[in-house]
Structure 1
Amino acid sequence: MDPPNSIPPDRFSMPSDAPWPFRYRLLGCRHGLVLASAQNLKQLRVWDPVTGVQHGLAVPPGFDTDGISIIGAVLRVVGDQFQVLLAHSVKKQQHTQAFACIYSSETGLWSDLISTPLPSEEDSTSSSFSMYFTSMPAVLVGDSLYWKLTGVSNVILEFDLDRQSLAVIHLPVELALCKPWDFTVMPAEGGGLGLIFKSDLTTQLWKMNTDCDGVASWVLGRTIELGKILSLNSKEVRKIQIRGVAEYSNVVFLSTVEGLLMLHLESLQFKKFSEPSMMSCYHPFETIYAAGI
């Protein structure tokens, strides 16, 4: 935010006395909390940058502990209580499964592992097919968390927090083979699960609808002409990549030929940042705090 509401950057630097190895990986930010994994240790960290409070967690048994293939999310429950969700995939021969479990700070325990099959080589005409998690953070919609998975085909992994179950959601046919940075999951306009997809010259907003028989299907909503809004030519628009969304602010982060850009999808107002767009993805930090703190 602009002054006087801006927060000094050093407030978002890990304290120097924190037990971090040289490298660590950001997994997600939500409800004013940050979740990261130490790549060389079997450790997770939950950090509140506003208060400075940190919590160390051991990675649960049965997880790939190299810190690279793990994805995760953090949620604040009530007061200082929080939940951490971890997921990863395991490939055996031609079959791949996603595994997940959830930690509760109230009990100090991890749940049992939950699994679901993922699309495999048998579901693809390509012999090089593989399914992998991207570094994009999870999106919370209702009582479920969603990650995008990419490969020769693109799908969405859903974790239902109430049922503690995993499921795979297939994308619209038009998006199934698109490039990883041309789409991502986000809350739909009016509520529910949605997608944002950048084609060659436009950006499309999709929403999942459920009919009276309980059958879910994707419906195309608004189409945004980025070239006109950003004053870019067709060649420049084609180079735009989606780098993240701020789910509560209805904002999408885009890398462009002019650098990183933040676009508000409702007003279509945008803000350019002076820093170059060098990251593979961005984790927006959104929180609410009392004035004067």
Structure 2
Amino acid sequence: MLPPAAAPPLDDENLLTEILLRLPPLPSSLPRASLVCKRWRCLTSDPAFSRRFRLHHRRNPPLLGYFHGVFDEIPFEPIHFEPTLEAPNRVPPGRLSLQSDSNLHVLGCRHGLVLILDWPQLLVWDPVAGHQHRLAYPPGFDPDKSNGAVLRSAAGAGEVHFQVVLVVVSDYEERLLACVYSSETGAWGSLISTPTPSGDSPDTRVWWEPAVLVGDSLYWMIADTTLSNLLEFDLKTESLAVMQLPPEKSCDAESGVSHEHFTVMQAEGGGGLGVLSVSGFTVQLWKRKTGFDGVASWEMGRTVELDKLLSMGSQDFLTIQGYAEDNNLAFLWTGT
């Protein structure tokens, strides 16, 4: 008697699921697959499959676009979404734009969530699902002087719950403060603090630039008379620390414009903390390394001369517009 014939690959439920999991993580992939037949539609629309699909592609998510707008003019402008993909994966700009009759400022985006200062409160917005959560600032955190970051909870129900981390320089003592909000408890946690790097300097403040998540830590830039420090918030230990930036990274404290524009990033070659700096048409990549003596320091990696790669005139200039941490991409703006 002959053994039963093996089922064709596309008739094997488990094998078909594994094949569909490996479709490109683009907006059109699963909708197109769902049109093949009813069976494929049932598989791709299953919430359990959706969770597995997102988990499988968590290290290479597509960059759908970015948010921009003018946040300090009247009449108030909406927060616009600018798509970066071409059809059929292009998300219509209006689909992810936020209309408001108040002054909004985007503090950052992460894990499909947007953190917005909707003065005098915070707004956590899920632009795909359309959910909005409004939070009051904790005591001691001035909305005009605080910065923050949002991320999905590390708990098992991470697709639902989120955390907000706020940081500020205390007005009453020379300390940097942090506080964490959890949607699971619906409350702010205890204050976390560390001394400011410049003692009693009245100019010390946390920059408005969005935080960057590298490993288990969030990083913000700190400005005083010179821009020379990073503020690190360790998500695992819920602790604050201050570290110096690579040398010769200075800032005009009054205008807040850095002479050498830079962003925190994931370092090349194995990850870790890095910094990308722009001076003129030259880009430098730095990496934070710890020596055998346990002392951490900055080490310069590659230097890229962009005027030799791009057609740029003498009147051009470069600034960093943003950084996409999941994709490890920096966006540069040229003057012309």
Name the SS of the counterpart of 1:230 in structure 2: coil
Q: State the match for 1:22 in structure 2.
A: 102
Q: State the match for 1:75 in structure 2.
A: 151
Which structure dedicates a bigger proportion of its chain to helix? Answer: 2
Q: State the match for 2:96 in structure 1.
A: 12
* 1:182 lines up with 2:266 in the alignment: no
Does the CA-based 8 Å contact 1:197-1:203 persist in structure 2? Answer: yes
Q: What are the within-5 Å matches in structure 2 for residues 202-213 of structure 1?
A: 202-213=282-293
Structure 1: how far apart are the matches of 2:137 and 2:209?
20
Name the SS of the counterpart of 1:172 in structure 2: coil
Distance apart, 1:62 and its partner CA: 1.8
Per-residue CA deviations over 1:63-111 (Å, capped at 9, x if unaligned) read 11xx32120000012121110001111245xx63211100111111211
Does the CA-based 8 Å contact 2:321-2:333 persist in structure 1? Answer: yes
Q: State the match for 2:205 in structure 1.
A: 132
Name the SS of the counterpart of 1:34 in structure 2: strand
Per-residue CA deviations over 1:138-162 (Å, capped at 9, x if unaligned) read 0001110001122332210100111
Structure 1: how far apart are the matches of 2:293 and 2:233?
23
Structure of larger gyration radius: 2
TM, length-normalised to structure 1: 0.76
Does the CA-based 8 Å contact 1:27-1:36 persist in structure 2? Answer: yes
Q: What are the within-5 Å matches in structure 2 for residues 1-293 of structure 1?
A: 1-14=85-98, 22-39=102-119, 41=120, 43-64=121-142, 67-77=143-153, 78-92=158-172, 96-120=174-198, 130-154=203-227, 155-176=229-250, 180=258, 182-189=261-268, 190-236=270-316, 239-258=317-336
Q: Which has the higher contact order (CA 8 A, sep 6+)?
A: 1
Q: Which moved more, 1:130-139 or 1:227-236?
A: 227-236
Name the SS of the counterpart of 2:307 in structure 1: helix
Structure 1: how far apart are the matches of 2:117 and 2:210?
13
Structure 1: how far apart are the matches of 2:174 and 2:281?
35
Distance apart, 1:253 and its partner CA: 1.5
Distance apart, 1:122 and its partner CA: 6.8
Per-residue CA deviations over 1:34-82 (Å, capped at 9, x if unaligned) read 111222x3x2111111111111212112211xx3212000001212111
* Unpaired stretches in structure 1, ≥5 consecutive residues: 124-128, 259-293
TM, length-normalised to structure 2: 0.67
* Unpaired stretches in structure 2, ≥5 consecutive residues: 1-84
Q: Which moved more, 1:146-155 or 1:220-229?
A: 146-155
Per-residue CA deviations over 1:165-186 (Å, capped at 9, x if unaligned) read 1111101223255852611211
1:122/1:25 CA distance change after superposition, 3 Å: closer
Q: Which moved more, 1:138-147 or 1:106-115?
A: 106-115
Structure 2: how far apart are the matches of 1:33 and 1:196?
25
Does the CA-based 8 Å contact 2:262-2:320 persist in structure 1? Answer: yes
Does the CA-based 8 Å contact 1:201-1:234 persist in structure 2? Answer: no
Distance apart, 1:121 and its partner CA: 6.6
Name the SS of the counterpart of 1:212 in structure 2: coil
1:96/1:235 CA distance change after superposition, 3 Å: farther
Does the CA-based 8 Å contact 2:140-2:170 persist in structure 1? Answer: no
Structure 2: how far apart are the matches of 1:233 and 1:60?
49
